[in-house]
Structure 1
Amino acid sequence: MATRKKSKRASLGERVQVRPSGVHGKGVFALRPIRKGARIIEYTGERVSWKKAQELPPHDPKQPHHTFFFSLDDGNVINAAVGGNDSRWINHSCNPNCETSESKDRIYVTALRSLKSGEELFYDYRLEPAERRTKKLERLFRCNCGNDNCRGTMLDLA
């Protein structure tokens, strides 16, 4: 199991829409231009302890390593599988156009550069596995971004 590491609610207006992605399954797309530095959406969901998160069954048994967990600085986790919004469908990229940040125990997705209407949003998941990192684990969390600087995995290499 791995959680997303840091890199406004949907009430910020209809800025994004979930639709099929060429990278992986569903993706989140800008409905209108978004300026660099704009806070796009909050990553929402049920807050649980890391211990409880590890005990939860996968939200999709066919993809047991796919997670909607996002780690917080206080050691808790946001589980977007319960009470999550469109932000849970933002895909990973090794060359992201968005980043995530924590403010007062809330996670926000912000534009790293100006985004065009119709552009898919991406941030670098930098997943932190609970278990020891191996080549097998890197393959389980394979990256599909296709960028020239792709590191081949969604895991944090730091």
Structure 2
Amino acid sequence: MADGNAVSSSASTAQPRRRLQVRRSGVHGKGVFAVVDLAAGEALIEYTGEVISWNEALRRHPHDPAQPNHTFYFHIDDSHVIDGGQGGNSSRWINHSCAPNCEAEEDARKRVFIHALRDIAAGEELFFDYGLVVDGRYTAKLKAEYACHCGSPNCRGTMLAPKLPARKASRGRAA
């Protein structure tokens, strides 16, 4: 698949129409924008890059000492990650939002595709919820290290995934 072109199953020999474009984002750095209207449910682009072990990812980290928490890593499973900074495409520039218009879905072959959650108008920036997971307690310092700038009315203020509430012990018997 050519960078910036939609995922397509057609065998057309025609030149694919450019559907996505990387440009400056008002949210953070670069972003990916729709060049044409995109339909809800549509597969937009595959998140590509070098598939490496988590140990290798930790060895490589950080890519930029000035931004130690910025990577192009995409978690696949407990053993592997996609490093979009190595052999990746424009999908690595899709920014986070707490009110995303896209989501990432993994297929059976451990490939990750970005799908539209709703109709997306030409000119609109693409976002998905990074939902970053880290071990340990979410302190104010940790949340600030992964600050969100999406501006959504329901912004969590962080790119970290919401912690699941601890289950309360049952005080009664099950019926």
The answer to whether 1:152 aligns with 2:154 is: no
Q: Does 1:15 align with 2:33?
A: no
The aligned counterpart of 1:136 is 141
Change (3 A) 1:9 1:99: farther
Which letter maps to 2:23?
R
Paired residue secondary structure (2:114)? strand
TM-score normalised by length of structure 2: 0.81
Distance 1:15 1:75 in 2: 33
Q: Structure 1 residue 108: deviation in Å?
A: 0.5
Q: Which of residues 119, 122, 135 is equivalent to 2:124?
A: 119
Give the secondary structure class of the aligned counterpart of 2:119.
coil
Aligned CA-pair RMSD: 1.5
Question: Partner amino acid for 1:19?
Answer: R
- Matched letter for residue 129 of structure 2: D
* 2:96 maps to 1:92: yes
Supply the distance in 2 between the matched residues of 1:82 and 1:52 (Cα, whole angstroms): 13
SS of 2:92's partner is helix
Unaligned runs of 5+ in 2: 7-15, 164-175
Greater Rg by CA: 2
- Aligned counterpart for 1:102 among listed residues 97, 103, 106: 106
- C-alpha distance 109-80 of structure 1, shift in aligned 2 (>3 A): same
Residue identity in the other structure for 2:111: R
Q: Helix, strand or coil: the match of 2:144?
A: helix
Pick one of 59, 62, 68 that aligns with 1:58: 62
Equivalences for residues 13-92 of structure 1 within 5 A: 13=16, 14-73=18-77, 75-92=79-96
Deviation at 1:125, TM superposition (A): 0.2
Q: Where in structure 1 do 4 or more consecutive aligned residues deviate above 6 Å?
A: none
Kindly provide the CA deviation profile for residues 93-121 of structure 1, in whole angstroms up to 9, marking residues without a partner as x. Answer: 00000000100111100000011111000
Mapped to 2, the partners of 1:133 and 1:44 lie a distance apart of 30
TM-score, structure 1 as length reference: 0.90
If each structure's strand is expressed as a fraction of its own residues, which one has the higher value? 1
Deviation at 1:154, TM superposition (A): 0.1
Q: 88-97 vs 57-66, which deviates more?
A: 57-66
